[in-house]
A and B are shown apart, each in its own frame.
Chain A
Amino acid sequence: EDQVTQSPEALRLQEGESSSLNCSYTVSGLRGLFWYRQDPGKGPEFLFTLYSAGEEKEKERLKATLTKKESFLHITAPKPEDSATYLCAVLGSGSARQLTFGSGTQLTVLP
């Protein structure tokens, strides 16, 4: 069974204070690791896909990296508008072939 664990559950940062969110996973044959952002009252918004260890993707102040056991979402000089819940998910090649989400990290960036 695929599993995803995200830490920390919640993170409060001052504007400009860089940090990283962690996503640890176990999966049968990784077909992809995905990062989403979810604002209150909204559905998740797709951010990145990572396919293999060593891969990195960047978008504005966000950079996602992947190893064989975990992924990090690095946030550089965050702004208050980066406040959201960040979700990590994996898709494996096992019989389930369904997206498994972590419980998310709730990020608050204070001005």
Chain B
Amino acid sequence: KAGVTQTPRYLIKTRGQQVTLSCSPISGHRSVSWYQQTPGQGLQFLFEYFSETQRNKGNFPGRFSGRQFSNSRSEMNVSTLELGDSALYLCASSFSGRSSGELFFGEGSRLTVL
């Protein structure tokens, strides 16, 4: 069974640009969550999608957005990039119809903003 797949794995952008990250969950999983991981702040929740609907959202500015498609694949977008957006962005999926803490994470997309 394939795990959670995130693309791209690494990317470098400059301030002011925008970026789109993609996540394919485990087959059959309908919930997808996104997290930002930095050395200073640790893992912070961005948002969660279930059946194409945003179910929950963390405390991030509106520059961070996401969506989920009918096949459960998800994308997140960050517009007007800032240096502080440099981080590992992790996607996680779960089968549960309710918010769950038993998540299956991908290997992440490492974003560097110059």
Measured between beta carbons, the chain A residues less than 8 angstroms from B92 are 43
Measured between beta carbons, the chain B residues less than 8 angstroms from A45 are 105
Within 8 A of B (CB), among A89-111: 89-91, 96-104
Main secondary structure of the interface of A (DSSP, over half): strand
1/0 per residue, CB under 8 A from A, across B30-60: the answer is 0001010000001111001000000010100
Of the candidates B33, B44, B101, B108, the one whose C-beta lies within 8 Å of that of A34 is B101
Instruction: Assess the A104–B101 pair: CB atoms within 8 A.
Output: no
Instruction: Assess the B99–A91 pair: CB atoms within 8 A.
Output: yes
Of the candidates A32, A46, A104, the one whose C-beta lies within 8 Å of that of B42 is A104
Other than the known A43-B107, A98-B58, what 15 A-B pairs have Cβ atoms closer than 8 Å?
A: A31-B101, A34-B101, A34-B102, A42-B107, A43-B90, A43-B108, A46-B102, A46-B104, A96-B56, A98-B99, A99-B45, A99-B103, A100-B45, A101-B35, A101-B44
Measured between beta carbons, the chain A residues less than 8 angstroms from B45 are 98-100
Which A residues have a C-beta under 8 Å from some C-beta of B? 31-34, 41-46, 49, 87, 89-91, 96-104
Contact A99 to B42, CB < 8 A, known contacts A43-B4, A43-B92: no
Instruction: Assess the B101–A32 pair: CB atoms within 8 A.
Output: yes
Measured between beta carbons, the chain A residues less than 8 angstroms from B42 are 101-104
1/0 per residue, CB under 8 A from A, across B77-105: the answer is 00000000000001010000001111111
Instruction: Assess the B107–A41 pair: CB atoms within 8 A.
Output: yes
Nearest 8 A-B pairs (CB), nearest first? A43-B105, A101-B43, A34-B101, A91-B101, A103-B42, A98-B45, A97-B99, A32-B101
